[in-house]
Chain A
Amino acid sequence: MKIALTAGFDKSLPALLMADRLRKDGHEISAVVVVSPYSIKRVREMLLSRGVSGVKKALSKMFKGVENNSSGPSPLQHLKMQQDLNTSSLKVWCSENNVSYSVVKGINDSDAVNAVSASNADMLVYGGGGILRKAIIESVNGNVINPHAGPLPEVRGMNAIEWSVLLGERQTVTVHLIDTGIDTGRLIGETPVPVAAGDHIDSLRANAVATGVCALTDTLRSIESPADISTQDNPGAQAGRQCYPLGRALSELLAIKLDKLAP
């Protein structure tokens, strides 16, 4: 299958891992579309939704990529080692694998839509970059697939794995199709995200992202055409309340709950 992929920034490790795994599984990566971090609009939106500390964190991730922490490699770094990847840059990876690489100002800009259309992709894998609008979704006939770090339809939106814990929902990654709503597209499958002893907010999130990388690539492993993917309704998704980033107080509450939750 021909697959195009989006990324929120060049050093997005989840996007890089998905691209590499899909290629190794025999799919053709026909295009990688990366949103430029040098956009005032993007920084402004990020500032509004995440605040100054959120922007600092995001910018650090954009430019440095995922780093090992004091307790050892993150789950994504583990995957990177397993996959024997020696780069952290999508640009470098695309160059090494002869894949079309585009940097766009916005994921819904005509440049992005044209890049995906020109690649003749059967499917678009969402690896970040912002909310997708109709034009880019239709450029692959609605075949846009996403690993969402929470159960659907119960936990839509941002910080989903964190909200899953806070709201007492199951901790899972849901692979689903993207439509013009927020996490309202048809469902494909769920994979549990285990909460381990000593887990904290960052490790929980890292586990969920790594689980998402594997769940999405596993879903597509033996698929030859989007028509082979079986999907089901996402009932009541439109009606459910969307989640947004945790504020300070709720982050503190989550830390308490994680302490109690870990076996």
Chain B
Amino acid sequence: MRLCYSSRLFGVRHRRSPHYTDHGDEAVSNPQLPSIERYQHHLDITGRWCQRSAEKGKGGSCAHFSPLLGWSNPYPETTGYLIPTLVKLANHFGDESYRKTANELGQWLLDIQNEDGSWHGGLHPAKNPNGSVFNTGQILKGMAALYRDSEDQRWLEAASRGAQWLADDVSESGLWPAGDYQASVTPSYYTHVAWPMLEIWQLNQEGSIRKAAERYLDKMLTRITDNGVVSHWGFKDDGPAFTHTIAYTIRGFQESSRLINDYDRYAAPMEPALEVIYRKSELSNGRLAGSFDEKWHATGDFVCLTGNAQLAICLLLMEEQKPDLRLVNAATKLVDFVAKVQRQSTPISGVNGAVAGSYPLWGKYMIARYPNWAAKYFCDSLLMMQTRLAKEQNEQATGTA
């Protein structure tokens, strides 16, 4: 059953499990701030789009919707990391249909898991069934979220097998075998794999998983350049990186630090890059360039919308450690830009509430498509932003700020 969002905007309480502190899932308690309500509306329509992507996904969640080609085949990788978002939406809205979808997607992922614990790359069904490092990592997030939500061991068992497969493959020098995706060296955005490995380590306390993740992360620290750029943080060996993978890299470091409870080790080194992102987000009023070269020069005149939402989250994560409303302001501008260009009233259900890969739609990133991960990260950023604004609103109103 779906309720009108305005009738249950605030005051929703939900289960919290031990071991874990997530972002953006605290109850929002005060309905006065118009922006919180505005974000709630976007969250509602985007969450519904995510559900439609699962309804059309033949078990998983469709990678994307194209106005020309319709819904794509399901994408195990992003189906995996959509699950934590769906669980948060269930808790936030008090709507069990989100939790039901999350569980169904999880079951589908269990069904297609390889014997060795990995998951294949690309869309399903796959031409190449071999395990993919990055995709397996992202699916672990879904397994972990379902385990935390239900404490059902089958999620943790699957996740543990996947994490162990990842850990076993990390070389002594801290890299995964090259050629996993488009690059010939292990990309730096695989910090977004180390993060879920550490998440599983936190749940199963398997030391070899933590050690392997840290070996990779330590290696990536050596790639940080003087201007804050992490070399090889794009899809390809050379050339510019989309803000999507820049944000993957930064977030992977930030979350890994959180999980090992050591901000200085991996998150603090991301601050120079985030300061650049902060300035560029402000100077562009949220219309952040979609890709940058290693000198922080914008390449191309388009916005990578998922990158906007992801980087807003990264700014908010830094702000959690070092409170400063200026960072929140920049994050709101990134999120507001995505909200501004989101299509809300078209008769095409695959477009309504979707978030395009690029703005304009024909921009370089995911040309003319609406990926499910853009919707996922937009939801995550809205949840986090609402929580942060509600906290500030309460503090300002009570004079404790």
The interface of chain A, by Cβ under 8 A from chain B, is: 47-51, 163, 166-168, 241-250, 252-253, 256-257, 260
- Interchain Cβ contacts within 8 Å, total number: 72
Residues of B within 8 A of A51 (CB): 285
The interface of chain B, by Cβ under 8 A from chain A, is: 32-35, 38, 275, 278-279, 282-287, 324-326, 328-330, 332-333, 336, 385, 389, 392-393, 396-397, 399, 401
Contact yes or no, A247 B393, CB < 8 A: no
Contact yes or no, A248 B332, CB < 8 A: yes
Q: How far is the CA of A253 from the CA of B401 in the complex (A)?
A: 11
Given the known A-B contacts A48-B283, A49-B283, A50-B285, are A249 and B332 also in contact in the complex, defined by CB atoms under 8 Å? yes
Extra pairs beyond A247-B329, A252-B34, A252-B35 (14, CB < 8 Å)? A48-B287, A49-B283, A51-B285, A241-B324, A243-B326, A247-B286, A247-B336, A248-B332, A249-B332, A250-B332, A253-B33, A253-B392, A253-B396, A260-B396
Given the known A-B contacts A244-B326, A250-B325, are A256 and B285 also in contact in the complex, defined by CB atoms under 8 Å? no
Residues of B within 8 A of A250 (CB): 325, 328-329, 332
Contact yes or no, A248 B397, CB < 8 A: no
Q: Which of A47, A48, A244, A248 contacts B35 (CB 8 A)?
A: A248
Residues of B within 8 A of A50 (CB): 285
Least distance between B59 CB and chain A CB atoms (Å): 38
- Across the interface, name the chain B residue whose C-beta is closest to A158: B282
Q: How far is the CA of A61 from the CA of B243 in the complex (A)?
A: 36
Q: How far is the CA of A81 from the CA of B34 in the complex (A)?
A: 38
Residues of A within 8 A of B396 (CB): 253, 256-257, 260
Contact yes or no, B332 A244, CB < 8 A: no
Least distance between A238 CB and chain B CB atoms (Å): 12
Residues of B within 8 A of A49 (CB): 282-283, 285
Least distance between A250 CB and chain B CB atoms (Å): 5
Least distance between A133 CB and chain B CB atoms (Å): 17
Residues of A within 8 A of B329 (CB): 244, 246-247, 249-250
Least distance between B388 CB and chain A CB atoms (Å): 9
- Across the interface, name the chain B residue whose C-beta is closest to A45: B283
Least distance between A197 CB and chain B CB atoms (Å): 16
Least distance between A64 CB and chain B CB atoms (Å): 24
Contact yes or no, A48 B325, CB < 8 A: no
Residues of A within 8 A of B330 (CB): 244
Q: How far is the CA of A50 from the CA of B284 in the complex (A)?
A: 9
Q: How far is the CA of A49 from the CA of B280 in the complex (A)?
A: 10
Q: How far is the CA of A32 from the CA of B38 in the complex (A)?
A: 45
Q: How far is the CA of A36 from the CA of B223 in the complex (A)?
A: 46
Residues of B within 8 A of A167 (CB): 324-326
Contact yes or no, B283 A247, CB < 8 A: no
Least distance between A90 CB and chain B CB atoms (Å): 29
Residues of A within 8 A of B38 (CB): 248
